[in-house]
Amino acid sequence: GQNIDQPTEMTATEGAIVQINCTYQTSGFNGLFWYQQHAGEAPTFLSYNVLDGLEEKGRFSSFLSRSKGYSYLLLKELQMKDSASYLCAVNMGGGNKLTFGTGTQLKVEL
């Protein structure tokens, strides 16, 4: 199978930092994406990793370790509007189809 595991829910405080982890099976790996999705809305692209290491984009960073089948999304200076579901998605090759995790529902509190 192509299991992608991420925590179901997380809670963090406004202004803090939160790390959302994602693990996946490594066979056929061809890239990993993070998307943000507010309830009932479209997923929006946050980041892409295909090589090991950290990709930084403003308040958002994403890390990948291909040998460990592991990624994380780091959100800094949390804002209330960051409350959303964060989806980890992996391209396992065979075209460009993505396999999504079930998402991590992040709640940002005051």
Partner 1 sequence: DSGVTQTPKHLITATGQRVTLRCSPRSGDLSVYWYQQSLDQGLQFLIQYYNGEERAKGNILERFSAQQFPDLHSELNLSSLELGDSALYFCASSVLGLAHTTDTQYFGPGTRLTVL
The secondary structure element, H or E, covering residue 63 is strand 60-65
CA-nearest of 41, 96, 89, 40 to 64 is 89
Stretch that binds partner 1, among 19-27, 51-59, 62-70, 83-91 (CB under 8 A): 83-91
Whole-number Å distance between alpha carbons of 100 and 66: 17
Number of residues that make up the chain: 110
How many residues at the interface with partner 1, by CB under 8 A? 26
Stretch that binds partner 1, among 11-19, 59-67, 75-83, 85-93 (CB under 8 A): 85-93
Positions touching partner 1 (CB under 8 A) are: 30-31, 33, 35, 40-45, 48, 50, 87, 89, 91, 93-103
